[in-house]
Amino acid sequence: MTRELMEQYRSLSDSATHFSPEYFGTLAWQVEDTRIDLNYFSDARAIELNIIELSTTHLRILQVLDFCLDGCLSRSEEWVQSMQEAFQKGKVYNDQYRARYGLDESQA
């Protein structure tokens, strides 16, 4: 779990760089009438991948929180069932994503 969390930490720390005011200032903003658009996620694939990664990160955070609370959360059958369901749904979405874009386990 530590290795997985460190991988996610690296990814999130990279995103902190990408979501800084300096970074946003370099992007191509589109101004139309009263609207300002930024097509940061340019396609459905990027959006899907980021949703999967964000969901995974949040589930890992809940696992760490449970660990820090000496397993207090996982003593609840309802909590365990909810976590199992969330991981199962996540696996289904991840498998669908990989199949849709022809990716194997070594590719994102």
Q: Please count the structural domains in the chain.
A: 2
Query: Do 48 and 13 share a structural domain?
Result: no
The predicted pLDDT at position 57 comes to: 86
Query: Do 29 and 77 share a structural domain?
Result: no
The predicted pLDDT at position 49 comes to: 87
CA of residue 28 relative to chain centroid, distance: 24
The predicted pLDDT at position 12 comes to: 67
Query: Do 105 and 59 share a structural domain?
Result: yes
The predicted pLDDT at position 16 comes to: 59
Query: Do 14 and 3 share a structural domain?
Result: yes
What distance in Å separates the CA atoms of residue 56 and residue 87, rounded to the nearest whole number? 8
Q: Answer yes or no: pTM beyond 0.85.
A: no
Query: Do 35 and 56 share a structural domain?
Result: no
Report the candidate in 79, 33, 34 with the shortest Cα–Cα distance to residue 59: 79
Instruction: List pLDDT tens digits, range 13-67.
Output: 666 566 667 777 777 788 888 888 877 666 788 888 888 988 888 898 899 999 9
Query: Do 70 and 31 share a structural domain?
Result: no
The predicted pLDDT at position 14 comes to: 63
- What is the separation, in whole angstroms, between the first and last Cα of the chain? 19
The predicted pLDDT at position 46 comes to: 82
The predicted pLDDT at position 96 comes to: 94
Its domain, for residue 3, covers: 1-40
Query: Do 57 and 20 share a structural domain?
Result: no
Query: Do 70 and 100 share a structural domain?
Result: yes
